[in-house]
Amino acid sequence: MLQRSPRWKALLLGLGLALPLYAAAQSPTLPLSPMQARDIAVHDLNRVLEWLPPDHLEVYGFSDQDDFSAISIGTPLYVTAFSDESVIAGSNPMVQTHMVMLPLVLKGTARCFIYLSPNEEGRWSTNGLGGHNEAISWDAMMKGKEATTAGYLTLLHIPQNNADYLWQTESRNWQDISVGPGHNNGQVLQADQAFRVAVRIAAEARATVKEDAGS
């Protein structure tokens, strides 16, 4: 299946390497470096493009008129989430890097993403291609913004409220980039606030489940 990773919200599964709270956003201690991520994507690009069905190129943001040899790899986006253990405990916040998304850019526009994730041995490799709609939104959001000096970006997903926060390097906080009803797009959280939000909402969800089980 081509689009093995259609949405980052649906992909924050159990795999990943535990890192200290700010590691993914503020520290060079990453499961793989931005250069390594790009090297993997570049190495696998031609093979991955062969997965594209000729009759459905538009699903991935391309057309049969495109020059695929002109595709470039954009800035890596590290998708992270707080570990279940730390959220349940409500202390010692840890985040896990679940995957790395790299936009495929053609004619200055992100068309879709190539996804990297670790296998059971912790080796990172390409495992999917997709996310055209997300690439459109991402491209629009990043227009006019300079790449970080670190050479990568970090996304924090909080499944407890299905929200996504982008790490702001200069202001050193998380900005809500979620879309859809019930989200505060543009809301800014300090790093410790993000963890408290995850803990609070998870506790509320557990209480609701407990009440439902007892009724």
Q: Which of 141, 138, 139, 165 is nearest to 81 (CA)?
A: 165
Rg (CA), the chain: 18
CATH of the domain at 91: 3.10.500
Q: Identify whether 85 is part of a domain.
A: yes
**Residue ranges making up the domain that contains 150:** 8-214
Residue bearing tokens 């996304």: 155
Per the model's pLDDT, the better-predicted residue between 184 and 117 turns out to be 117
CA distance 164 to 185: 9
pLDDT tens-digit readout, 99-125:
999 999 999 999 999 999 998 888 899
Q: Identify whether 3 is part of a domain.
A: no
The count of domains in the chain is 1
Q: Identify whether 2 is part of a domain.
A: no
Q: Identify whether 121 is part of a domain.
A: yes
> Token pair of 132, please?
């055209």
Average pLDDT, the chain: 79
Q: Identify whether 61 is part of a domain.
A: yes
Q: Identify whether 1 is part of a domain.
A: no
91 band by pLDDT with thresholds 50, 70 and 90: confident
pLDDT of residue 15: 29
Q: Identify whether 189 is part of a domain.
A: yes
Where are any strands of DSSP class E within 71-214?
72-73, 77-82, 94-106, 109-118, 124-130, 153-158, 163-168, 173-176, 188-189
pLDDT of residue 21: 34
Q: Identify whether 114 is part of a domain.
A: yes
Average pLDDT for 177-193: 79
Average pLDDT for 3-17: 36
pLDDT tens-digit readout, 129-172:
988 888 888 888 777 665 555 688 899 988 877 888 888 888 88
